[in-house]
């Protein structure tokens, strides 16, 4: 039986609802070409800006792994260790807008039915920077980009008026979104930082500015661990480190919590979910909470740089899911948000009564020891 993976999100038609997120997998024309050939429905380009970008010495991203016997989390490679997370302090694309423009055009000409979203970023706080946002938006859409993703979320910027510093300020979220919407002819998504008190506030500000969708999560602010033997951070330059971003499996539950807050606050709006997705099992949670598309970074980086096996697993998982639920659902749109209402306040969760109360120590080994 053939199923229909296609979906329409913010007015854009996707052959499947899976995108590579803005990150190394989408930093070049050759990567994006390989990604489309592998089957991704869309890509969000590595974030494009107008200011010069120079990354730090050495590795921009590394992977943390954990060992089953001692739950040790480390960047050191050990046999039998499983992926825990990615850690990065990579800035936005170090290629210019002039470099990107012809490439966006060529990619769209070669793949007219695939979706290319241009991720863009400029500063804030004055009209000149707002014009930079508009210039980036106009160029990208002029070259054929199907949509724009405004990066209000990079957690480690070398400028204070950019990235998550915009995403932490509801006034800036509104003003920048509105400035881009003034010139945009294509849908505008805003990618928010999860590192705020209440993302609902910034999401509301973006919607006030005219955003067509909210994208979440970018990486979470984090530090690598200190090696107890060398007393050095596992990644450092001249012994120094700065806050970077955590992605991959470790952030899945955190990103789901953020997404649930957003989709519950704005059940009629559009959301694209990111964080810890490597196959359909995780993607399903995002759809069931109300997302219309799902994006992937870390898992793809570890799979031939653009995730050919990841997209195969995502598509196969979606097919199997739709076949299993063929009696009630025939597309992503049909089950989008089907479990959103299951997230409630603690006070709304049922409690045992009288003798049935066991202190909640039912789970795993630790319970037996505590209650004896």
Ligand X SMILES: Cc1cc2nc3c(=O)[nH]c(=O)nc-3n(C[C@H](O)[C@H](O)[C@H](O)COP(=O)(O)O)c2cc1C
Give the catalytic positions in this structure.
154
**Interface with ligand X (CB under 6 A), residue from 176, 297, 318, 332:** 297
- Contact (CB, 8 A) for 307 and 300: yes
Ordered DSSP codes for 251-315: GHHHHHHHHHHHHHH-TTS-EEEESS-SSHHHHHHHHHHT-SEEEESHHHHTTTTT-HHHHHHHH
Q: How far is the CB of 15 from ligand X (least distance, A)?
A: 21
Residue 352 to residue 25: CA distance in whole angstroms:
49
Residue 372 to residue 370: CA distance in whole angstroms:
6
Residue 121 to residue 127: CA distance in whole angstroms:
15
Residue 121 to residue 22: CA distance in whole angstroms:
12
Q: How many residues does the chain have?
A: 372
**Interface with ligand X (CB under 6 A), residue from 12, 23, 50, 294:** 23
The site map against ligand X for 345-364 (x = CB under 6 A) is --------------------
Q: How far is the CB of 363 from ligand X (least distance, A)?
A: 26
Contact between 46 and ligand X per CB under 6 A:
yes
- Contact (CB, 8 A) for 44 and 20: yes
Q: Of the listed pieces 69-77, 83-91, 263-271, 348-356, which binds ligand X according to CB under 6 A? A: 83-91
Contact between 285 and ligand X per CB under 6 A:
no
Query: Helix 308-324 crosses helix 29-38 at what angle (to 10 degrees)?
Result: 30
Q: How far is the CB of 338 from ligand X (least distance, A)?
A: 23
**Interface with ligand X (CB under 6 A), residue from 114, 191, 258, 269:** 191
Q: Using CB positions, name the residue nearest to ligand X.
A: 247
- Contact (CB, 8 A) for 220 and 251: yes
Q: Of the listed pieces 234-242, 268-276, 347-355, 356-364, which binds ligand X according to CB under 6 A? A: 268-276
Residue 336 to residue 238: CA distance in whole angstroms:
48
Q: Which is nearer to ligand X, 281 or 330 (CB)?
A: 281
The site map against ligand X for 85-114 (x = CB under 6 A) is -x-x-x-x----------------------
Contact between 194 and ligand X per CB under 6 A:
no
Contact between 251 and ligand X per CB under 6 A:
yes
Instruction: Point out which residues bind ligand X (CB under 6 A).
Output: 21-24, 46-47, 60-61, 86, 88, 90, 92, 119, 151, 153-154, 191, 218-219, 247-248, 251, 274-277, 296-299
């Amino acid at each position: 039986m053939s199923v229909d993976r296609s979906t329409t999100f913010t007015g854009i038609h996707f052959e499947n609802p899976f995108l590579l997120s803005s990150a190394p997998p989408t930093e070049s024309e050759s990567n994006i070409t390989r990604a489309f050939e592998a089957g991704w429905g869309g890509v969000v380009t590595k974030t494009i800006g107008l200011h010069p970008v120079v990354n730090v010495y050495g590795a921009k991203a590394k992977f943390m792994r954990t060992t089953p016997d001692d739950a040790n989390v480390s960047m050191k490679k050990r046999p039998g260790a499983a992926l825990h997370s990615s850690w990065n302090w990579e800035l936005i694309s170090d290629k210019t807008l002039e470099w990107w423009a012809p490439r966006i055009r060529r990619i769209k000409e070669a793949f007219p039915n695939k979706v290319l979203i241009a991720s863009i970023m400029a500063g804030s706080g004055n009209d000149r920077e707002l014009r930079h946002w508009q210039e980036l938006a106009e160029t990208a859409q002029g070259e054929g980009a199907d949509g724009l993703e405004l990066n209000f979320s990079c957690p480690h910027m070398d400028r204070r008026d950019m990235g998550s510093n915009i995403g932490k300020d509801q006034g800036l979220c509104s003003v920048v979104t509105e400035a881009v919407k003034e010139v945009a002819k294509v849908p505008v998504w805003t990618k928010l930082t999860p590192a705020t008190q209440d993302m609902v506030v910034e999401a509301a500000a973006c919607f006030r500015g005219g955003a067509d969708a909210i994208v979440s999560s970018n990486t979470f602010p984090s530090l690598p661990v200190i090696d107890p033997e060398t007393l050095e951070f596992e990644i450092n330059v001249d012994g120094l480190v700065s806050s970077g971003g955590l992605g991959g499996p470790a952030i899945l539950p955190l990103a789901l919590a953020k997404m649930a807050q957003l989709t519950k606050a704005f059940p009629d709006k559009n959301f694209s979910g990111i964080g810890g997705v490597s196959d359909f099992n995780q993607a399903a949670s995002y759809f069931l909470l109300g997302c219309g598309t799902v994006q992937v970074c870390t898992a793809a980086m570890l799979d031939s740089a653009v995730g050919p096996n990841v997209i195969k697993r995502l598509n196969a998982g979606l097919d199997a899911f739709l076949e299993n639920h063929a009696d009630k659902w025939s597309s992503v749109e049909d089950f989008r948000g089907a479990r959103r209402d299951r997230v409630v306040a603690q006070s709304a969760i049922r409690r045992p009564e009288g003798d049935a109360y066991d202190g909640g120590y039912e789970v795993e080994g630790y319970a037996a020891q505590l209650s004896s």
